[in-house]
């Protein structure tokens, strides 16, 4: 049974669940989602944002249930679950799909950030050298183990607090009547926004991979919910900001509305805030990419135990560099982003509840066989007793 538990020296305190989940959810999409989400639902855009945020709480409950039940059978993470539920072959196939999905998310993050840097700060930024240096940092962090990754999440949480205070600059120029009339859109329009919104909240499903690394998982549950609520508040305030600071027509012309808002802020010492903000956003990217790469390399190790995680890590990072260099156009990133977010939507809303259902079925089946065994035992006992007599 010993391989089912992670050594306590590699585990982290329950409170870190908040930083990891919030960190995984708030990524580069914060800059751009307002336009996409308000295309259909205009001033009511905050409603789908709120609804999706609340729905993640439900999914989180399902995930926690799933993982808690799984503790009795083995390692409580998705890769081990796949093997137990579907057998080694199909299970590993599913794991491969999940690994590919996580890897695509890493690529999108990396590529979207590079695009941001190239567009706003350094138009001539060479992709190869940036990703190479960046991957070196990621390699260093992932080699440090899970606790190091968690540490970077904590740092990024602290670093980001002042950045969100900047949002209060919008209040003086806000047109709050832009939010009126409330609830003026049909459910169909809201649903369309809801689907387009999906890349924002994705990321909290990483709990399925790092759950065994949490000390006292019972206590960690509430921090998981708090993490979701933190990112919910971030997204709702950013949506409201986009609605009250920009007019709807203007918002539709802006690809990164939040950066355009930062563009109108200046301080006595630095004239333009968005340069600081974008470069500062690197502190969000580092833990995010590290976590993604950690999940991918751990998935490879879990599915094929011959390969050690540190050996799996290097080709993963090299592939990341390669793909980032090859992908050049915005349309490619956009395509990958939409595809992956649709897949992500299916994973969290269909696949995870399905897993819980499957686990319940397995348990029932097992219970039945157990009972049969018991009754069989009973019969044998009776026969023995009879025989003795």
- Binding residues for other proteins, per CB under 8 A? 43, 119-120, 122, 124-126, 128-129, 132-133, 136, 173, 175, 177-181, 184, 246-250, 252-254, 259-260, 263-266, 271-272
55/178 with CB nearer other proteins: 178
Residues 62 and 57: their CA atoms lie apart, in Å, by: 9
CB of 170 to other proteins, least distance (A): 10
What is the nearest approach in angstroms of other proteins to the Cβ of residue 248? 7
Verify cis geometry, omega within 30 degrees of 0, for the bond prior to 181.
yes
Q: Least separation, in Å, of the C-beta of 328 and other proteins?
A: 17
Q: Which of 171, 184, 232, 231 is nearest to 38 (CA)?
A: 184
Tell the smallest beta-carbon distance from residue 197 to other proteins (Å).
23
At how many degrees (to 10) do helices 29-41 and 46-70 cross? 120
Supply the DSSP string of 169-192, one letter for each residue.
GGGGG--GGGGPSTT-S-HHHHHH
Within 71-216, where are the H helices?
78-116, 127-143, 146-165, 187-196, 198-201, 207-210
Q: Cβ closer to other proteins: 218 or 264? A: 264
Nearer to other proteins, 126 or 367 (CB): 126
In contact, 7 and 79? CB cutoff 8 Å: no
CB of 124 to other proteins, least distance (A): 6
The strand pairing partners of 214, in sequence order, are: 12
Alpha helices in the chain, H assignment, sequence order? 16-25, 29-41, 46-70, 78-116, 127-143, 146-165, 187-196, 198-201, 207-210, 217-245, 248-251, 257-263, 273-280, 282-303, 309-326, 330-346, 352-388
Q: How far is the CB of 154 from other proteins (least distance, A)?
A: 26
Which among 85, 58, 96, 36 has a CA at the least distance from the CA of 338? 36
The structure tokens listed for 148 are 């190091």
| 332-to-5, 114, 130, 263, 325 alpha-carbon distances in Å | 41, 14, 20, 27, 12
Nearer Cβ to other proteins (9/172):
172
CB of 279 to other proteins, least distance (A): 12
Least gap, CB of 35 to other proteins (angstroms): 12
> Which residue, 42 or 69, is less far from other proteins as judged by CB?
42
State the minimum distance, in angstroms, from the CB of residue 253 to other proteins. 6
Q: What angle do CA 162, 158, 291 make, to 5 degrees?
A: 125
Nearer to other proteins, 7 or 177 (CB): 177
Toward other proteins, which CB reaches closer, 266 or 330?
266
> Which lies closer to other proteins via its Cβ, residue 116 or residue 347?
116
**Quick one: 220 or 317, whose CB is closer to other proteins?**
317
Alpha carbon 110 to its chain's center: 14
Compute the C-alpha angle 183/167/16, nearest 5°. 95
Q: CA–CA separation, 75 vs 79, rounded Å? A: 9
The first and second tokens of residue 373, run together, are: 């065994």
The residue among 77 and 260 lying less far from other proteins, judged by its C-beta, is: 260
Shortest distance in whole angstroms from residue 144 CB to other proteins? 16
Cβ–Cβ under 8 Å, residues 297 and 316: yes
């Amino acid at each position: 049974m010993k391989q089912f538990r992670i050594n306590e020296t590699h585990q982290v305190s329950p409170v870190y669940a908040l930083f990891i989940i919030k960190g995984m959810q708030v990524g580069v999409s914060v800059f751009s989602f307002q336009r996409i989400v308000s295309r259909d639902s205009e001033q009511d855009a905050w409603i789908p944002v709120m609804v999706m945020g609340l729905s993640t709480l439900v999914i989180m409950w399902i995930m926690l249930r799933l993982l808690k039940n799984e503790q009795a059978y083995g390692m409580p993470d998705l890769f081990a679950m796949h093997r137990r539920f579907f057998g080694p072959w199909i299970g590993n196939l599913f794991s491969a799909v999940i690994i590919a999905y996580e890897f695509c998310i890493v690529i999108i993050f990396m590529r979207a950030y590079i695009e941001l840097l190239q567009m706003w700060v350094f138009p001539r930024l060479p992709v190869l050298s940036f990703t190479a240096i960046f991957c070196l940092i990621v390699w260093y962090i992932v080699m440090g183990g899970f606790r190091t990754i968690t540490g970077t999440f904590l740092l990024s949480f602290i670093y980001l607090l002042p950045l969100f205070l900047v949002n209060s600059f919008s209040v003086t120029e806000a047109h709050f009547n832009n939010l009126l009339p409330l609830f003026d859109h049909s459910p169909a329009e809201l649903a369309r926004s809801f689907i387009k919104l999906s890349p924002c909240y994705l990321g909290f499903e990483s709990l399925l991979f790092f759950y065994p690394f949490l000390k006292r998982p019972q206590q960690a549950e509430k921090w998981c919910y708090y993490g979701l609520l933190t990112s919910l508040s971030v997204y709702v305030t950013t949506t409201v900001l986009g609605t009250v600071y920009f007019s709807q027509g203007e918002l539709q012309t802006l690809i990164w509305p939040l950066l355009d808002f930062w563009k109108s802020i200046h301080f006595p010492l630095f004239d333009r805030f968005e340069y600081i903000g974008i470069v500062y956003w690197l502190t969000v990217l580092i833990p995010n990419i590290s976590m993604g790469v950690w999940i991918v390399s751990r998935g490879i190790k879990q599915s094929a135990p011959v390969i050690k995680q540190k050996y799996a890590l290097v080709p993963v990072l090299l592939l990341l560099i390669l793909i980032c260099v090859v992908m050049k156009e915005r349309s490619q990133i956009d395509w990958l982003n939409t595809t992956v977010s649709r897949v992500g939507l299916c994973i969290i809303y269909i696949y995870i509840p399905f897993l819980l259902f499957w686990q319940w079925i397995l348990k029932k089946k097992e219970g039945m066989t157990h009972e049969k065994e018991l009754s069989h035992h009973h019969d044998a006992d009776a026969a023995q007793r009879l025989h003795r007599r």
